[in-house]
Every structure is written in structure tokens, then in C-alpha cells.
Amino acid sequence: MTRLFGTDGVRGLANKDITADLAIDLGVAAGSLVVAKRLEETGAIPVISPLMLAGGVKAGPLPVGETKFRRPRVIPGEPAKPRAIVGRDTRVSGEFLDHAVAAGLASAGMDVTRVGVIPTPGIAYLTAAQDFELGVVISASHNPMQDNGIKFFARGGYKLADSLEDRIEEMLGQEGLRPIGPGVGTVRSNGDAADRAYVDHLVSSIPDTLHGLRIAVDCANGAASQLGPQTLQEAGADVVVINASPDGRNINDACGSTHPEQLQAVTVASKADFGVAFDGDADRCLAVDAAGNMVDGDQIMGLLALDMQSSGRLAYNTLVITVMSNLGLRLAMEERGISLVTTGVGDRYVLEAMREGGYTLGGEQSGHLINSLHATTGDGILTALQIASSVRKTGDSLAKLAGVVQRLPQILINVAGVDRTRTNSDTVLADAVAQAEARLGSTGRVLLRPSGTEPLVRVMVEAATQEQADDEAGRIAQVVRDRLAL
């Protein structure tokens, strides 16, 4: 059976895969785990089942044959209910999913605060800063508007561990999870206060004003449409804004970090010092220099790593990257004495490595960057501020700062309409990859991986020349189509 949770929550086609019913059930299951843990910690559970303990109080697999909770008794003078915060991006489907998740959480006994449209990292920050037991985001990030998703943050603002996601999935649709009478929770809205707290936090992350900088900003008609420009302006920058008029249907539509062409043109036309592009939920950021040239996540990581190294903020002189990072970043960091830790693709795996090693900077080529001094997850607006601060402090152009990373020729082909589950088991495909790696030798590499959020397989090749990279990637992509066809 396919696991419901992917690398970034539960995601799929809104109103088909991600329905109001599923949102309610996820809210009930997740809320029940939190409530059970709170009651157990306060000694207010007279009788609890093994499943309740497995749901977050004790580690270990779910007991065989256990099917439902025994409803906890509401006792006089019980402590305040655990709290959850729920936010969303600008997709029209997010409106009903937001209400559905909140309903499920409240029916499980949590007090819920709905804050409306806000970047994903805003929910992560508020979950930690305001001591919520659970944060929930309704978003499909950079995916098209017809998709949506539901992801959770635990207390402290960190994404749930796989084991907790599995427990939530096990509990979906089970009876007996909802309390009665005064045991149910409340739902309220408080978007303005949440926005203010998040913006203040972001602005405080940089030491000096951005006065004198002009920055072009592409908000992807998404969650950063208001707060992205507002934050940069409050930090002192002159901001040129595009794609900040969300209508529920235009999120990521030919704009934002996945379609930077408009930003490139506007950056040049407006004579901006540089431009930044967010995705739909603003957990990633890519940049454009004054001449309209793209600056990807690897180059941003490189310039920020050097900035943090010079100020003593790069813990253990180490940068955490993924297997997708360009060889050019690896070479640039090694040349400057910065160590690298490499993880699988996905910002959750980058963060796991950062937490385990105590590192302060990591990220992905796609623009998911995590600065653990200020955030618990990727934050596009924070990244934009850090780029701007580096430009302002050094007086150098973004092109010069990003030039420290000389990217090797690379191509990424997304092969759709295939069975991604057989990517690592097909022997013919494995042989094709091995042959390509032999031809590339030490001057390149091949990376083949199934997407964790979309029904496709990604083929990435780096080589000494673009022609060689294109040729090898094309060959492998064709084998993927032939061997993994549905």
C-alpha cells in the first residue's frame, strides 16, 4: 500500500485526492495524538488504550488488532486545551480545506487559530514562537493551482517525523477519537496579529537597513503576495512588485520561482539591483542579477555560506547540501575551506542533518534554504533578506557574489507518465546509468530519482560540456520512458 504522506506532507489533486473529508480526518487524527499526549503529561487520562500511547506518547509500532481510542473522560479543572495554528496559500481549494482541517482539530479537542493566507515558514515560525502544539499548512507549494496539500509542524516548528505521520495515517477514519461536551475545542481567526509577528521576526534577522537597494520581487500570486514586499520595504528596500494579485487560480501560473522569465525582464527594465522569485507558499527563493541572469539555490548557498563564514556564523564551517547540488558548488566550497554534508533530496532531510550536526546553513538547488539561526524550515522571504543584506554590506553586485560558484553544465529532465516506484529496481535502467557514468568519468555524474511529490522520474546529468550532458540525459530519459511506462 502506498504511503499517504510524501516528502512534504499529503499532496494531490484538490477535491479528488485531497478532499474535505480527508482534511477533517487528518485533523481528527493529528489532533487526537496531541490531545492524548497533553492528557497523559498532565495525568488527566483515567484510561488510555495502547493505541493512544502509540500515537505520540510512547514510541514503537501500533499494536496488532487495536482499532480505536477509548474516549478520555473530561474532568473538572482540566488544563487548557492544546492549541493548533492553521494557515494556507492562495489556492481557491485552500479555503474549504482550511475550514475542514480546523473542524477536525477542534472536534478532536484542540483550540484552533486560523490565520488565513501566510507563507509556510510563517506557520513554522509562529508554531515555535507562540508555543502552539501543532501547526498546519494547506499548500501544494510550487505545484499548479489544481493541486493542494496538507502538512504538519510539531511544537518547535519542525516538520513531523515519519513515525508520527505513520501514526496519523493509521488512525484515519477510526471511531471513538472525538470527545464530547466541554472536551471539544474552539476555532478563531487572528490573521493580522500573525502577519505582524512574522514580519517583525523577519526584519529583525538582518543587522542593518536595506536603504539604497532596489529589489524586484515576483510573488508567484501566492502566499507571499502581501508579506514578501511588505517585509522588504520595512527593511528599507525600494521594491518593484509583480505577480502579487492572487485570485485563487493564478498561483504559480507562468510566474514565480518555476517561471522566472518575467522577473528577469522586469529586473533589467526597472534597473533593480537584483530580483527575487518566490514559489506559491514562499518556502523557496531564487534570484536574478541586475543583468537578468539567474542565480540558483546553489549559488545563493555559496554566497551566504561565505558571508556567514566571514562573520563566524557558519557553525563548524559546514554547509549542508543535497545530492542535486551542482559540482561547481562543491568545488567552490572545498577551495575556500568549507566542509560539506550531503543528504537526499528534500528540505526535511537537509534539516535533519543540520539538527543532528548543529549546522546553521543548508539547502537545495531549487531555492529551499534553511538558516537555523532564524528558521526551522526553508523561508524564501528570509533568504531574500539575507541576500540583500550581503549585497548591502559588501557593496558588491549579486553577480559578483554569486560568481564564486561556477556551475558545471547540467540538465534536468522530468519524465512523466511512468511508474516511479520501479526506478531503483529495473536492471536495464541501472545498466544504462552505469554506462553513462563510465563515459562521463570524473568530469560528471548522473542522478536518477523518483519525485517525492509528483508522478514523475527526474534525470539529472552534469558533464564537462552542455552537449555531453544533454546527450547522456536524453539517452537515460528514453530508457526511463521505455522501461517504466505505465
Residues acting as catalytic residues:
141
Relative to beta strand 83-88, strand 111-117 is parallel
392-396's contacts with Cβ under 8 Å and 24+ in sequence apart are: 392/208, 392/209, 392/210, 392/212, 392/213, 393/208, 393/307, 394/307
Residue-by-residue DSSP string for 130-145? TT-SEEEEE--TTS-T
Look at the block and give the residue holding cell 537515460.
Answer: 476
Alpha-carbon distance of 391 to 142, in angstroms, equals: 27
Contact 72, 39 (CB under 8 A): yes
Which is nearest to 343 in space by CA: 326, 324, 322?
A: 322
Question: How many other β-carbons are positioned within 10 Å of the β-carbon of residue 434?
Answer: 10
Contact 171, 68 (CB under 8 A): no
Sheet of strand 369-371, all strands in order from the earlier edge strand to the far edge? 339-343, 318-322, 361-363, 369-371
DSSP annotation of 358 reads T
How many degrees, rounded to 5, is the angle at CA 462 between CA 459 and CA 467? 95
413 CB-contact burial (10 Å; exposed 0-12 / middle 13-18 / buried 19+): middle
181 CB-contact burial (10 Å; exposed 0-12 / middle 13-18 / buried 19+): exposed
| Phi, psi values for residue 205, rounded to 5° | -75, -15
Rama region for 432: left / alpha / beta (φ>0; ψ in -120 to 50; rest) = alpha
Alpha-carbon distance of 142 to 92, in angstroms, equals: 15
**Cross-strand pairs, 371:** 361
Alpha-carbon distance of 175 to 146, in angstroms, equals: 31
Alpha-carbon distance of 347 to 173, in angstroms, equals: 30
